[in-house]
Amino acid sequence: MIYPGGVVGYRNLQQCVADLERRGMLVRIEAPLDPNLEIGAVQRRCYQRGGPALLFTNPVNCRFPLLGNLFGTLERTRFIFRDTLDDIRRLVELKVDPFSLLKHPLDLLKAPCAAWHLLPTFSSRAPVMECRTTLSRLPQLVSWPKDGGAFITLPQVYTENPSKPGFGSSNLGMYRVQISGNNYEPDRQVGLHYQIHRGIGGHHAEAIARGEPLKVNIFVGGPPAMTLAAVMPLPEGMPELSFAGLLGGQRIPMARMEGQLPVLAEADFCIRGLVHPDRTLPEGPFGDHLGYYSLAHEFPYVQVEEVLHRRDAIWPFTTVGRPPQEDTSFGAFIHELTGPLIPTVVAGVKEVHAVDAAGVHPLLLAIASERYVPYAPRRQPQELLTIANAILGQGQLSLAKYLFVAAQEDAPDLHTHDVASFLGHMLERADWRCHLHFQTATTIDTLDYSGSGLNQGSKLVIAVAGPQLRVLGQQVPAGLEFPAGFGGARVCLPGILAIQGPASRQGRGECDASIETFCNFYGERDRFDGFPLIVICDDCDFTADTLNNFLWVTFTRSNPETDLYGIRSLTRGRHWGCQGALVIDARIKPFHAPPLEDDPEVERRIDSLAVKGGPLEGLV
């Protein structure tokens, strides 16, 4: 879609806000709302309605306006970056197929213009350096009732390699920043929570090895391109500042400070400080994007030296929680930009989908080639297993917990984003005696509490290839009986049955004897013909009610190493499988983090403002 009359990117957040408001894509909310729970709840509800960006101009106990839901729809995100999308797609296409220049040689003339934007500019003055404030005067945004304090939810954390300073070795990442609460010294310390496999980790490790503190700048606001660049999965060696320039359609202006890291000139806020070696403090809890609280753990913190801001500063924010949320639009937009590159990174891969409804990292779906023995009378997963290992060796993809891989040759029209059809294809062909491949005692997402410890858990690769083996059932088997403590069954999808079980009492890293009893109850009298997958859950009606419920419950509440069982299970050598249905224990365990729930009093307050004639009418 072509949008007339646009500028070439936005130099700062103020330009973006003015443009969106002029076009009816942003609404000002002048009613006094509290950053403690109320503003975040309004933003989430507005997102669910597909609503506009929101500028809260009169937040309680805060002088700075807050901007929420900026990227709340994919269409609005595309609009914000409308002037540069063709350039980015052209460069992606060249990466995928350099011979495309032979078909469109004039594109080569445009490439140097886009490449010029990869280089930031440097000066000694900047709008962000005009004013100073303190942490306690920043918006104290608390998103969920059990959060441990106020957090920056759209931070851009900038560091450079201590051994090789300069923007060429820089990292810009969106790492969680807690600005109040816990044991942090007020106005002097902020928590810095970064997950494993993040770019900042290398810089931090280098600083520790040198025995010196790591310099950190935390930007908030500025050009929208900087926010997106901070979450982009960029190739090794490409600075996020360069991508932000490319996406924003102009070189990113930075300001030098003597003896310090450069600051983003057009940022709305900048928190400067140091991360000292081997110093940590408890950070969290925080309601996170898996739909649960990430609990308090020891993480590094920044000893704050100063807080800078521009005179007309705006505080952009989002709130996260059980998907879909605003970060879902981030993910969809990123996939549009980077999806064509996946086959160039892992040979043989057609597409990969990190399933947002399952919390992103818990579930990956992939389609790849199976060409190792094309002369064999029956196709079996062989190349798929090589490709699966390659996928699990790629950056953030390495944190995946479940990876389902299908052979492209079996269904050329299959796509991973049609999740229901993809799972149906897998289950029609799955042979649980040989298609399950475990990795145990390995790393998983820091935010995932289903494993054996922080960052610790297991992975399961399910790779299928070959002809259809069964017809999937679509109705609960007639006369189905249950062992004691189990009862109630619903069909989630063809071939997938949710069965309600007793409350889990298992310990971390343990299996549950009650699920073994369930499997043994059926034994040779397996009644699950047509249902190769059974999910044991706390509430079968909730689990089966929607596809998103099934995905969320099943893949965020299970750890393959301890929560997979099978009817008529068998072990050959060290390979485990089963002859009957595969059983996933997806009940909430005693050691799991609690799920996120809205504050009823806050919800009633928002409802009262959303009545006809109220300040939130039509928005929530």
> pLDDT tens-digit profile of 488-521?
999 999 999 999 999 999 999 999 999 999 999 9
Percent share of the chain, pLDDT over 70: 95
Cα-atom radius of gyration of the chain, to the nearest Å?
25
Instruction: For residue 324, give the nearest of 585, 74, 76 by alpha carbon.
Output: 74
Q: In order of start, what are the domains of the chain with their CATH numbers?
A: 13-83+117-317 (2.30.110.10), 341-464 (3.40.1670.10)
Least confident stretch, 130-134, 195-199, 279-283: 195-199
Instruction: Give the H/E segment covering residue 14.
Output: helix 13-22
Question: Is pLDDT above 80 for 582?
Answer: yes
Amino acid occupying residue 307: V
Question: Global pTM?
Answer: 0.93
The reported pLDDT for the residue numbered 108 is 47
Inter-residue contact 264 to 156 (CB < 8 Å): yes
Which residues have a catalytic role annotated? 288
Instruction: For residue 280, give the nearest of 413, 159, 178 by alpha carbon.
Output: 178
The reported pLDDT for the residue numbered 197 is 67
Mean pLDDT of 270-290: 96
Average pLDDT, the chain: 92
The reported pLDDT for the residue numbered 101 is 45
> 344 is written with which tokens?
């160039």
> pLDDT tens-digit profile of 77-121?
999 999 988 878 777 776 655 555 445 554 544 555 566 788 899
The reported pLDDT for the residue numbered 342 is 81
**DSSP code of residue 410:** G
The CA–CA distances, whole Å, from 157 to 127, 246, 556 equal 19, 19, 28
> pLDDT tens-digit profile of 510-566?
999 999 999 999 987 778 989 999 999 999 999 999 999 999 999 999 999 999 999
Classify 490 as helix, strand or coil.
strand
pLDDT confidence bin for 299, thresholds 50/70/90: very high
Mean pLDDT of 429-441: 96
What's the rounded Cα separation, in Å, for the pair 320 and 92? 30
